[in-house]
Structure 1
């Protein structure tokens, strides 16, 4: 099982925010209050909401019965009977996205903006940096975020977080497939990638130990969420 969901933050009016806040944990509500900008608070809200929606929809679990846990690397999961359901969320710009699976998985969305190629030189692998700089100048920024989101999705699926250096593995974007080579792939061998342009300004990348990644992201409305979680 693997499913992908996305919601645009523009869906959240003030009335919707108040309705959705009733469906999240007290911890998430407190976290929302710490953000200075309203858009960041909305992304925080929708991050938990879309995870709850995915779990409730795919596993037929009532919202009030959902209780999140984290492992020793702070990776979130949902313990269910004799197995665990893994999920991962990401938000950037106008979008919040979620992946849910019973296998290790990761997802990352990024708003395409001006890229700092110095970051690539410092933190990407040598092969990735050379591949980036060999791209036509007009395409280089988009390619940077293609690589960045793929690397972030791999780190999230691996589960070790920032303890896994960005230059310890290398992503190769081929014409027919995306693959990775890593110095230490014990945590995540034989993984699969997929990449989407959710709109002209945002790129989404997915990494999973399952090879049946959906061809697109299921776009969710606030009404879908309310119908499922209330």
Structure 2
């Protein structure tokens, strides 16, 4: 595997930069999933994301984009099954207007990207989706734009962590929360039932483009942070 020792690579791209003529790279299951979407925009976004994933993975391995093979666990988290590359970890996220993919060796990774949108009844949404300390922080800010941005900061962090753990929403949203330190870093607090500790993870949260929030969760190895490299793909 190329350039992955102690490193995590995070790639972002706009869907319109992906050549949809490359849909031949997708396997039968991916093509069937794309066809099943009711709306053209959703079909195009899904297709672009999975072409992007395959092409990005091939930058780190001597495998052609069309030759990647995947399986999923009981919660839907995908994994690579190509012989000799089972330790290659990845995660994919997409929203209208933006794609994101994280790749590492051996370290669990999760990425989430969300496009900001108008949120009705934000207080109730926070109480459903966030833990109490996160809700209190969101609602303490003045102005709907600031509150919306803060909500998506917490939501993407939680989604990235859930995806990295690979356990889906079996992880209760109220049993873990994030806190930002004075230095601007994000720290995870877990209740004992989750059988995890915040010290096991490193996190990145940032605003990308205009009106998008991205979060990355990376498992530490031996208590050591990974080296993060971020690429914005322009084609």
Same fold (TM over 0.5): yes
Find 1:100's aligned residue among 100, 103, 110. 103
Would you say the 8 A contact 2:10–2:229 is kept in 1? no
What pairs up with 1:126-165 in 2 under 5 angstroms? 126-137=132-143, 138-165=145-172
Q: Whole-Å Cα distance in 2 between the matches of residues 20 and 99 of structure 1?
A: 21
Match of 1:191?
201
The answer to whether the Cα contact below 8 Å between 2:113 and 2:215 also exists between their aligned partners in 1 is: yes
1:27 alignment counterpart: 29
Specify the alignment match of 2:74 in structure 1.
Answer: 72
2:8–2:226 contact (8 Å) kept in structure 1: yes
Superposed CA deviations along residues 132-156 of structure 1, whole A, max 9, x for unmatched, are 1111224111101111111100111
TM-score, reference length from structure 2: 0.85
Residues 171/81 of structure 1: CA separation in 2 closer, same or farther (3 Å cut): same
- Note the aligned Cα RMSD (angstroms): 1.9
**SS of aligned partner of 1:121:** helix
- Would you say how many aligned residue pairs link Structure 1 and Structure 2? 217
Distance 2:194 2:227 in 1: 20
Q: What are the superposed Cα offsets for residues 70-119 of structure 1, whole Å, 9 maximum, x if unpaired?
A: 12322111134274212111111201111111211100000011124121
User: Cα distance 1:66–1:188, how it changes in 2: closer, same or farther (>3 A)?
Assistant: farther
TM-score normalised by L of structure 1? 0.86
* Structure 2, unpaired ranges of 5+: 1-6
- Three-state SS of the structure 1 residue aligned to 2:79 is strand
Residue aligning to 2:179 = 172
**SS in structure 1 at match of 2:54:** helix
82, 91, 95: which is aligned to 2:94? Answer: 91
**Secondary structure of residue in 1 paired with 2:75:** coil
Deviant stretches of 4+, over 6 Å: none
